[in-house]
A and B are shown apart, each in its own frame.
Chain A
Amino acid sequence: MSPPPAASRAFEGEFDEALVTTAAEERVSVATQWQLMWWRFRKHRLAVFSSIVIAVFYLVAIFADFLAYADPHKTEAFRSLIAPQPIHFFDEGRFSPHVFALIGKRDPRTFKRVYEPDPEQKIALRFFAQGYEYKFLGLFPTNLHLIGVDGGNAEELIFLLGTDQLGRDLWSRLMIACRLSLTIGLAGVTLSLVLGVLLGGISGLYGGAIDTLIQRVIEILRSIPTIPLWMGLAAAMPRDWGVVQVYFAITVILSLIGWTDLARVVRGRFLALREEDFVLAAELAGVGQMRIILRHMAPSFLSHIIAATTLALPNMIISETALSFLGLGLRPPAVSWGVLLQDAQNIQTVAISPWLLSAALPVIIVILAFNFLGDGLRDAADPYG
């Protein structure tokens, strides 16, 4: 923020209203829309905290491979359904994080594999260790990971959140899942945004028959129960499509419904702004229509669109999770929160290996954080209201 201009000149009789202000008031006087919004948003503590949480989640999505320590796709029958393993931070008073080695046995009565920690065998954890090979951001090949073990293979020794039926490490899979689950929301919302702004804008700007048509289409789309619609569309997807194709197909399916909300927001703002006096003043001044839309109308609904988008994101994320959970969305080998939760579909899992439900936790946290953030943004969106 630029410093406020030097103190105003002394009051001159010619001007009948003194506008002499203190430096603090002057800061408000020259504050732009975005500064006012930021000042108001800042007061919404929960929203600020939520935005940090969301930032952390997206960082996890970017550094997923670095945070994982085991190849998320590597199966091993001898490590199936291991329970989460506690980390011990201190060893005889010294800071030395370690886990106990597990010894797998078969229960002679139930033939179930059981794992017992062996306190004698301490496996020291190392930070920034070497592990499995991956490409950071899909570009730079590396094998650096946040945690690992010295001279051993991390995926055979550490199981922070346990393993699933096929012996894949749940912590690592959870990290990787952030990527698909968090980006599918963004991609879906982006597509909805384009559709919503375009159709809502046309609807609000031209009115008349086009407006009526678009509004009726929105009402029809919204009256279709979403789950059966998604099921139908997902069932129509060829089974032999690859992960990427399915990903984009799901995005399209999600935004098919998602755009309607945004279109309504945009249309509503257009209708309200069209009647504003300052828009009429611009028209009377001979300002062109394009400039009126870009200079006068767009800035006043941009903030509303950002808020509406933020509130639409959790819907997208939860829809993807729901679809994948039902087996209609992403399918293995893709890893998303919904795919992970597929493993926790039966009561048996919940009773015997509840750690498989852990993918539900990030879903809940992210949805809540997005909702709080959206609330904060919505409150701040109109600093003049």
Chain B
Amino acid sequence: MMKATNGGAPLLEVRNLRRFFPIRKGLLRRVVGQVRAVDDISFHINRGETLSLVGESGCGKTTTARCILRALKPTAGEVRFQTAAGAVVDTANLPKTALKPFRHQMQMIFQDPFSSLNPRMTVFDIIAEPLLASGMKDRDERRRRVENLLELVRLRPEFMGRFPHAFSGGQRQRIGIARALALNPSLIVADEPVSALDVSVQAQILNLMLDLQDELGLTYLFVAHDLSVVKHISDRVAVMYVGKIVEIAETKQLFNAPSHPYTEALLSAVPKPDPRLRSERIVLKGEVADPAQPPSGCYFHPRCAYAIDRCRTETPPLEEIRPGHVVACHRAREIELKGVEAQRAV
């Protein structure tokens, strides 16, 4: 299962990941269908970068994140993770017991700062729990480490005796970040870490995350639906639609020159500060496809303004149209789409 060190290997490589949820009905709970929450996606994250996963609610972003962390067992596919020792392990197919040595190298920051901290434990106990689980028996040692972690996330160490109810949402999120950092992970999966926070606090948390990335050399998988946040934090962006990745590109490239019609529509929904420029919003027709009964061909074709007959029958593969820019669209090379700047210029 382990492979020899590969110098240029990405920190994380996801290959053909699938996660289907069975739909059960009746007294005998027979399986009558599948919700294809994550449907054959592949991408990679390089060491030290931030990859954002964006898409509408229910498109499979969170499921992807949880499959990578093995909070959910993937139905199929590989999650190849380069461990601190340099070996590459496929965490998707390891038995749960064999996973423990690698668990601490990938940690998660949660969306809801209220439900992600046990209200019945003090801040010290919350942050020290991963330390305890990894075998740090000495209480003073744990206390020193927790003090360091709290300072790292700019919280006062003397408040470690408090319970989470004494803190605001942003402060709680910092505690969550401190917990995630406790075991020196290399990959942090952040599942909408700021979407539950006030706008004023969002920037603080994002900047803290960027600072920590510089200080500790962290790699982020950033799950979000707020594109202005994504633009601020990420190096590359992957766009998901109904369980599939439709486009991956560098942030600037994606925002300025998207190549998938869905990305264009998403970008047009980004609020613009200047009211005179609020004209060219692309309103998609119809509803988001049902992941239990996806349409034929390209999942986006019923809503796509550029769809041709081929889109209805043939599923487009992810193709690299220029270095580092992959798109799943038959017409990616033919059509001219507008990015954020172009839309603004109209």
Question: Which A residues form the contact surface with B (CB < 8 A)?
Answer: 5, 8-9, 14-17, 19, 21, 25, 28-33, 36, 212, 276-278, 280-288, 291, 295-296, 299-300, 384
Contacts and interface: CB of A to CB of B under 8 A. Distances in A.
A5 B204 CA distance: 29
A285 B115 contact: no
B159 A19 contact: yes
Given A29-B162, A212-B29, A277-B110, A15 B133 contact: no
Which bracket fits the contact residues of B?
Answer: 35 or more
A108 B29 CA distance: 79
Q: State the 9 A-B residue pairs at the shortest beta-carbon distance, nearest first.
A: A29-B166, A285-B130, A277-B116, A278-B118, A29-B162, A384-B119, A286-B133, A287-B133, A277-B115
A16 B204 contact: yes
Interface string B158-199: 110111011110110000100100110000000000000000
Contacts of A19: 155-156, 159, 166-167, 171
Nearest to B170: A17
B154 A30 contact: no
Interface string B128-157: 011001100000000000000000001110
Nearest to A276: B115
Contacts of A299: 120
B103 interface: yes
Contacts of B170: 17
Interface of B: 29, 69, 71, 100, 103-104, 106-108, 110-112, 115-122, 129-130, 133-134, 154-156, 158-159, 161-163, 165-168, 170-171, 176, 179, 182-183, 204
B156 A15 contact: yes
A15 B151 CA distance: 8
B118 A296 contact: yes
21 contacts: A14-B154, A15-B154, A15-B155, A16-B154, A17-B171, A19-B155, A19-B167, A29-B163, A30-B162, A277-B116, A278-B116, A280-B110, A284-B69, A284-B107, A285-B183, A286-B103, A286-B134, A287-B130, A296-B118, A299-B120, A384-B165
B161 A278 contact: no
B116 A288 contact: no
A39 to B, nearest CB: 12
B128 to A, nearest CB: 10
Contacts of B110: 277, 280-281
A281 B179 contact: yes
B108 A281 contact: yes
A328 to B, nearest CB: 37
B71 A8 contact: no
Given A286-B103, A288-B133, A278 B154 contact: no
Contacts of B168: 17
Contacts of B176: 281
B120 A281 contact: no
A30 B158 CA distance: 12
B118 A286 contact: no
A21 B104 CA distance: 35
Contacts of B133: 282, 285-288, 291
A284 B103 contact: yes
A221 B29 CA distance: 22
B103 to A, nearest CB: 5
A6 to B, nearest CB: 10
Contacts of A14: 154
Nearest to A281: B116
Contact of B119 (A9, A33, A285, A291): A33
Given A19-B171, A282-B118, A285-B103, 17 more contacts: A5-B158, A5-B161, A9-B158, A15-B156, A16-B204, A29-B166, A32-B120, A32-B163, A33-B120, A277-B116, A281-B108, A281-B176, A281-B179, A282-B133, A283-B71, A285-B133, A285-B183
Nearest to B166: A29
A29 B158 CA distance: 12
